[in-house]
Chain A
């Protein structure tokens, strides 16, 4: 491939994306390094040779990771001619080189410097991708000077420092990814996978597996899996051991630099020869596993597949009709075959867009650390469920809301050390970022064990701001969490700075709520004063397709997201009750508030209401009265800007099998 000038901007994009991956990796490794340095400083009262050795091995491993990331960045910048990035990474590399050789020790000061240098590097990367390249910038030259002064510290072993090899050998401490596919007709694939894993265990350490080992015995395990391997065995030895377990169709052993299989990554820039030296994958089998793909191209594929799905349904129906009219069955069979293929294609294409939330989670430990330090708070930050997968476009959009919530928790939720001690809590606050799968949804939670939200102060403030009408009787601390969230999410309130000081919360909740809703998700809140707060975002795992209950209202078809539908029953007007002006429907002893959609959507009222869809939104049930139930099916969502359209209770539109359009009801807005 040539370096045609017209491609420069495309490479710049590639550079930016890939450089970010490496910067994130750098951050993660530096955090780990910092932890080791801290443990070292703490643990000097009782020296323990075994522990020291383990720490030193751990430190070496993190330094190697940092080195590798910096080294790759340098090579990429060199290929692009970005001088600022190249210089900073070169200076960093020199320092790390000496650290690897053992002629400098990385203690608190050095690690802090590495963090600062990473920030400068990150700034330089952004600049470069924007077309600015100024290696003389004040900020950069300061960092270069500081790095230089550490690197040039005299040391007795100095003579050796200059001859440290630049390329990184595949040493035993670096994890390699082993990707394995079992034969298609292999019986009990899960057990066979276990045998493969135990064969490899005889050669070295086997770590994380994808899918996780617990899922190997699931019905849908197709015999393709990857595991991380640490050990000195060669790729051929690893492949041979895996094959010896039997029923193995293919084994790929990836070199350490390509160990991250979570996303298409690290192809190396075109023309970048270093990619070959530092991390080009070594393949013992035959197939290539990953390619980078432009997100827009993937979106286009999803969109076209969506159209194809709609056409598939129409074709199936037409083929049925044709057969009824006496046409040859061969046509119907061919259409059914095509339909099956379309379904499989849809599944694959959607899956291609799914990425593990860990990709976004990785950004936060660093932010949390910095903010906690600025605020003078001790925080133990935990992430859970990193391999839960989410649609790529959702993942991109969800980073900011998560950051908002983390910031809130750190700033307002968690108390300072002294306050916590007085309250009898551990000095370090606990902040958890969690992802979990719940049916078709992905649940993301930000949980802190801080002081909780002061309801009284929030309501007081809301009343002063005139956000709560005089007729609203909520007084004191009696409102429930849902109502509290509504108040908090009111933009008039959450921008009011004073609230922050008084109540301890409120900044940006409106932004978060709006964003989550725009993604078709729901935000909910649980808070206990003195004990902490949990914000929960419930998101659809994919935006592109959703299961919907199709209903008829006033002659038109509407789609209700099926994830929220509890049951569909016939509408019995005799079961209606009235309570303080509100209509309730008695369903097996429960009284559920009624919403007549005919009326709500502005159709003429009257006869025709025949069914009820009971929906559950955040634990609150509502009986939606509709004319008729049509079907439950997958619909392809075409988002639109509801706010501009003036119909706030629709989240999108879809085109049904027969080509008619239908609006998708936004339950979070409606009930």
Chain B
């Protein structure tokens, strides 16, 4: 059974790209979210194995979404997607419960390595 993933990003382009990378690696994209609020709702509903989360999104940012999701499910596996220069925000996201991060522009190999780490983390 393939692993399920919820892709959260306000840009369609980024969602498509992340989705493609993960699908090629055998994941099933079970949902997409454009806002933090959507991300939280869809997580509760879909219970995916993995969430990729953009930091900056309208209507509740990625960090607050991480906080909400981990409050709901402390075992949630969330991978942050950040841009260069968002160091402080990434730190905050990890403190909020995200398990790892990748930095844009994405290199498929790095994304998959990070996903692997998130999924194998205790």
Is A217's beta carbon under 8 Å from chain B? yes
**How far, in angstroms, from A202 to B122 measured CA to CA in the complex?**
9
Residues of B within 8 A of A190 (CB): 87, 91
The chain B residue sitting closest to A190, CB to CB, is B87
Which one of B23-31, B32-40, B112-120 contacts A? B112-120
Residues of B within 8 A of A202 (CB): 122
Is B9's beta carbon under 8 Å from chain A? no
Instruction: Tell me which of A187, A202, A245 has the highest count of chain B C-beta atoms within 10 A of its own C-beta.
Output: A187
**How far, in angstroms, from A364 to B92 measured CA to CA in the complex?**
40
Does B117 contact A244, Cβ atoms closer than 8 Å?
A: yes
Residues of A within 8 A of B90 (CB): 188, 191
Which of A194, A217, A246 makes the CB contact (< 8 A) with B114? A246
Residues of B within 8 A of A246 (CB): 100, 113-114, 117
**How far, in angstroms, from A456 to B88 measured CA to CA in the complex?**
55
Which of A187, A194, A244, A245 makes the CB contact (< 8 A) with B91? A194
Residues of B within 8 A of A187 (CB): 84, 103
Binding site for B on A (CB under 8 A): 187-188, 190-191, 194-195, 198, 202, 217, 244-246
Which positions 39-67 of chain B face chain A at CB distance < 8 Å? none
Which of B87, B113, B121, B122 makes the CB contact (< 8 A) with A191? B87
The chain B residue sitting closest to A202, CB to CB, is B122
Is B82's beta carbon under 8 Å from chain A? yes
Does A217 contact B87, Cβ atoms closer than 8 Å?
A: yes
Does B120 contact A188, Cβ atoms closer than 8 Å?
A: no
Residues of A within 8 A of B86 (CB): 188
The chain A residue sitting closest to B85, CB to CB, is A188
Residues of A within 8 A of B103 (CB): 187-188
7 interchain residue pairs of minimum CB distance: A187-B103, A191-B90, A246-B117, A217-B87, A188-B87, A191-B91, A188-B90
Closest-CB distance, A623 to chain B (whole angstroms): 43
Closest-CB distance, B94 to chain A (whole angstroms): 7
Closest-CB distance, B25 to chain A (whole angstroms): 16
Does A195 contact B122, Cβ atoms closer than 8 Å?
A: no
Closest-CB distance, A132 to chain B (whole angstroms): 58
Closest-CB distance, B89 to chain A (whole angstroms): 10
Which of B82, B113, B121, B122 makes the CB contact (< 8 A) with A188? B82
**How far, in angstroms, from A187 to B110 measured CA to CA in the complex?**
11
Residues of A within 8 A of B91 (CB): 190-191, 194, 217
**How far, in angstroms, from A195 to B118 measured CA to CA in the complex?**
11
Closest-CB distance, A381 to chain B (whole angstroms): 36
Residues of A within 8 A of B84 (CB): 187-188
With A188-B101, A244-B120, A246-B117 known to touch, is A217 a contact of B94 (CB < 8 Å)? Answer: no
Closest-CB distance, A28 to chain B (whole angstroms): 34
Which positions 79-109 of chain B face chain A at CB distance < 8 Å? 82, 84, 86-88, 90-91, 94, 100-101, 103
The chain A residue sitting closest to B86, CB to CB, is A188
Instruction: Tell me which of A191, A194, A198, A246 has the highest count of chain B C-beta atoms within 10 A of its own C-beta.
Output: A191
Does B117 contact A191, Cβ atoms closer than 8 Å?
A: no
Q: List 26 A-B contacts (CB under 8 A).
A: A187-B103, A188-B82, A188-B86, A188-B87, A188-B90, A188-B101, A188-B103, A190-B87, A190-B91, A191-B87, A191-B90, A191-B94, A191-B101, A194-B94, A195-B100, A198-B94, A217-B87, A217-B88, A217-B91, A244-B117, A244-B121, A245-B117, A246-B100, A246-B113, A246-B114, A246-B117
**How far, in angstroms, from A190 to B86 measured CA to CA in the complex?**
11
The chain B residue sitting closest to A198, CB to CB, is B94
Not counting A188-B103, A198-B94, A246-B117, a sample of 4 additional A-B residue pairs whose C-beta atoms are within 8 angstroms of each other reads A188-B86, A188-B90, A191-B94, A246-B114
Closest-CB distance, A189 to chain B (whole angstroms): 9
**How far, in angstroms, from A217 to B117 measured CA to CA in the complex?**
22
**How far, in angstroms, from A188 to B102 measured CA to CA in the complex?**
9
Closest-CB distance, A185 to chain B (whole angstroms): 10
Does B94 contact A195, Cβ atoms closer than 8 Å?
A: yes
Residues of B within 8 A of A188 (CB): 82, 84, 86-87, 90, 101, 103
**How far, in angstroms, from A191 to B103 measured CA to CA in the complex?**
11
The chain B residue sitting closest to A219, CB to CB, is B87
Residues of A within 8 A of B100 (CB): 195, 246
Residues of A within 8 A of B117 (CB): 244-246
Closest-CB distance, A642 to chain B (whole angstroms): 48
**How far, in angstroms, from A190 to B117 measured CA to CA in the complex?**
18
Residues of B within 8 A of A195 (CB): 94, 100
**How far, in angstroms, from A143 to B119 measured CA to CA in the complex?**
62
Closest-CB distance, B27 to chain A (whole angstroms): 19
Residues of B within 8 A of A217 (CB): 87-88, 91
Closest-CB distance, B105 to chain A (whole angstroms): 10
**How far, in angstroms, from A217 to B92 measured CA to CA in the complex?**
13
Residues of A within 8 A of B101 (CB): 188, 191
Closest-CB distance, B74 to chain A (whole angstroms): 14
**How far, in angstroms, from A190 to B91 measured CA to CA in the complex?**
9
**How far, in angstroms, from A194 to B117 measured CA to CA in the complex?**
15
Residues of A within 8 A of B82 (CB): 188
**How far, in angstroms, from A198 to B97 measured CA to CA in the complex?**
12
Closest-CB distance, A190 to chain B (whole angstroms): 6
**How far, in angstroms, from A194 to B94 measured CA to CA in the complex?**
9
Closest-CB distance, A251 to chain B (whole angstroms): 16
Closest-CB distance, A1 to chain B (whole angstroms): 44
**How far, in angstroms, from A202 to B90 measured CA to CA in the complex?**
20
**How far, in angstroms, from A246 to B100 measured CA to CA in the complex?**
9
**How far, in angstroms, from A202 to B99 measured CA to CA in the complex?**
13
The chain A residue sitting closest to B118, CB to CB, is A246
Residues of B within 8 A of A191 (CB): 87, 90-91, 94, 101
Closest-CB distance, B17 to chain A (whole angstroms): 17
The chain B residue sitting closest to A192, CB to CB, is B101
Residues of B within 8 A of A194 (CB): 91, 94
The chain A residue sitting closest to B80, CB to CB, is A191
Closest-CB distance, B1 to chain A (whole angstroms): 25
Closest-CB distance, B13 to chain A (whole angstroms): 20
The chain B residue sitting closest to A246, CB to CB, is B117
**How far, in angstroms, from A246 to B117 measured CA to CA in the complex?**
7
**How far, in angstroms, from A188 to B121 measured CA to CA in the complex?**
20
Closest-CB distance, A125 to chain B (whole angstroms): 47
Closest-CB distance, B91 to chain A (whole angstroms): 6
The chain B residue sitting closest to A217, CB to CB, is B87
Closest-CB distance, B104 to chain A (whole angstroms): 9
Closest-CB distance, A191 to chain B (whole angstroms): 5
**How far, in angstroms, from A548 to B101 measured CA to CA in the complex?**
44
**How far, in angstroms, from A190 to B114 measured CA to CA in the complex?**
16
